[in-house]
Structure 1
Amino acid sequence: MLRSICLFLSKNKMLTKFAQAYGLRFGAGRFVAGETLTEAVKTVKRLNQNGLSASIDYLGEYAGSEKDARRTAEECKKAIRAIADHQLDCELSLKLTSIGLDISEKLAEQHVRDILTEAKERRVPVTIDMEDYSRCGRTLDLYKRCKPDFPMLGTVIQAYLYRAAEDISSLMPYKPRLRLVKGAYKESAAVAFPDKKGTDLHFQQLIKLQLLSGHETAVATHDDDIISYTKTLVSDHQIPRGQFEFQMLYGIRTERQKELAEEGYRMRVYVPYGTDWYGYLMRRIAERPANAAFVLKGIFKK
């Protein structure tokens, strides 16, 4: 019930504006690095010093105009330059709706290619995030068009979607660099597993499919069972540690992140920043209701 409510509220425009007006006061500071790129860079530097890689994401979805899409694209290029200039162990994560996918696929692809050109020159990896089911096909189609020109480009596959294994198979000719996740949007049972058990079993199948293909794989999870499964799989098949990594969200299971890094695994932390953090925060609560306690503390803290 809480998950459904949070996912519904994540799309409420009035609450989004309210949250932006009051900044990160409402507990979001635990999960968001700050509102500026400067704050995000400081966070990534600290993570790198602790042996953790990072992926920064300029928060924002559903650009309402070409001007908004262009502004986000410019911020992404600015972030790439900062990653290179500060020699950070960091990639950029990118949402297509924030750079105009819902306005025009042509516009979004133009912005993607501009961003990727900057990234290629500065040798900064970029991963295209996956959003809800309605945008899945268009996202993968754009990825396929851009990947041959930008080898360091990655994208995301969501395990709760029935189509995920077929999508991975269709990407094999492109030698895909994939981030595998469970999925955080509310989807119909017609297109997605409605239960955790089904999603987890599918997640394991996808991890095996991608890892045994020999392609770069990021297993993005906070679930110890999925982590253990991955460790056993790579050990049994002697998969080199340079081929895969674990990923977790900033502010969640920070001690576990350090443990994995100390065990010799590459551990990457997803670091969001920006003023448009409300929808992101609601999805984090939906994924793990215990996160709501941190938000409530922020609301009532003097």
Structure 2
Amino acid sequence: MDLTLAYRSLVLQVAEHPWVKGLILRRGRGLYRRYVAGETLEEALKAAEALEKEGVHAILDLLGEMVRSEEEARAFQEEILKLVRALAQKPWPRYVSLKLTQLGLDLSEELALELMRGILREAEAAGVFVRMDMEDSPRVEATLRIYEALRKEGFAGLGLVLQSYLYRTEKDLDWILPYRPNVRLVKGAYKEPKEVAFQDKRLIDAEFLHLMKRMLREGVYVAIATHDPRLIGEAKRYTEAMGIPKDRFEFQLLFGVRPEEQRRLAREGYTVRAYVPYGRFWYPYLSRRIAERPENLWLVVRSLLGGLAQNG
């Protein structure tokens, strides 16, 4: 395993420790605002409006995952429907991301499918695009089955995510190609064992480029989701060399990460979206952001030291 992935694995393991989680929830709440728009829908919409003024579109995501009861799942569905209804009133592009474990996937695939249908009925009527995030490897198969079922039922405004670090991803692409999917391509942010995922950053990056180029050749609309300047540069070079118009793909980056790059790409005429999470359940998301880069860990340390000083 290379040092980058070893760092990520260690951080994700430490983040699961109850003492560490409790400390960050108590002392580091100010840090989450670097990557999360806020805890309320109103704060998320305000962040989205600010991005629109800069030429960057927002992907709004209500944070939360792995619910433990049907009641929780239905409560999340209602909150996502509130988001859809709020976006219906906005003049800018309307885009929502969600996780199937918010909607009870771990309880029942049928429950998640039912709740997704309810969201998509309102979303399509309101002109809101919905993307199902891809979670860790044990949940990939069920996510693909639900995507396939919904596309067969005629829901067109639905996207999916594929992760380049999983060995299985090219076969998953073969599975969904007949539906002419809208795919967000990411490297992958979950801690995965060597049995199912590449453990070398160079191999993950190479697979990312291979999948991106194949999808573009196959006519798939690709959301290229990376902050890596080399991968962004290669995507620009490849699409220009192949004569692929800018309306066949877009770039997606995270809220609070390389905002200057987001604005620059938008000025160059590319469609750019920022993934804008919000909500009370921000800790798992923040953990994955900390695990992405060692610099982010230093931000946590500074935030915690500042919190301790203020309370000491």
Normalised by the length of structure 1, the TM-score is 0.95
- Alignment of 1:135 with 2:139, yes or no, is yes
Q: Is the 8 A contact 2:27 2:304 kept in 1?
A: no
The corresponding residue for 1:263 is 268
- Alignment of 1:54 with 2:68, yes or no, is no
**SS state of the match for residue 242, structure 1?**
helix
Give the 5 Å matches for 1:194-233: 194-233=199-238
Decide which of 33, 38, 48 is 1:34's aligned counterpart. 38
Structure 1 residue 4: deviation in Å? 1.8
Q: Is the 8 A contact 1:48 1:89 kept in 2?
A: no
- Alignment of 1:158 with 2:173, yes or no, is no
Q: 1:10 to 1:300 in 2, by over 3 A?
A: closer
Q: Is the 8 A contact 1:52 1:258 kept in 2?
A: yes
Amino acid at match of 2:237: T
Q: 1:68 to 1:253 in 2, by over 3 A?
A: same
Q: 1:64 to 1:16 in 2, by over 3 A?
A: farther
- Alignment of 1:184 with 2:189, yes or no, is yes
Q: 1:163 to 1:79 in 2, by over 3 A?
A: same
The corresponding residue for 2:126 is 122
Counterpart Cα distance in 2 of 1:246 and 1:100: 30
Counterpart Cα distance in 2 of 1:8 and 1:114: 36
Q: Which blocks of at least 5 consecutive residues in structure 1 are unaligned? A: none
Decide which of 65, 70, 77 is 2:74's aligned counterpart. 70
**SS state of the match for residue 135, structure 2?**
coil
Q: Is the 8 A contact 2:94 2:127 kept in 1?
A: no
**SS state of the match for residue 33, structure 2?**
helix
Counterpart Cα distance in 2 of 1:5 and 1:153: 34
Counterpart Cα distance in 1 of 2:248 and 2:205: 22
The corresponding residue for 1:237 is 242
Normalised by the length of structure 2, the TM-score is 0.92
Counterpart Cα distance in 2 of 1:23 and 1:96: 30
Counterpart Cα distance in 2 of 1:17 and 1:128: 29
Please identify, of 276-285 and 209-218, the stretch whose mean Cα deviation from structure 2 is larger: 209-218
Residues 121-157 of structure 1: CA deviation (Å, up to 9, x unaligned): 1010000000000001110111011123211100100
Amino acid at match of 2:242: H
Q: 1:232 to 1:281 in 2, by over 3 A?
A: same
The corresponding residue for 1:293 is 298
Amino acid at match of 2:117: R
- Alignment of 1:91 with 2:103, yes or no, is no
Identity of aligned residues (%): 44
Q: Is the 8 A contact 1:176 1:215 kept in 2?
A: yes
The corresponding residue for 1:113 is 117
Residues 230-275 of structure 1: CA deviation (Å, up to 9, x unaligned): 1111111111111110011111111111111111111110000001
- Alignment length, in residue pairs? 301
Structure 1 residue 295: deviation in Å? 2.3
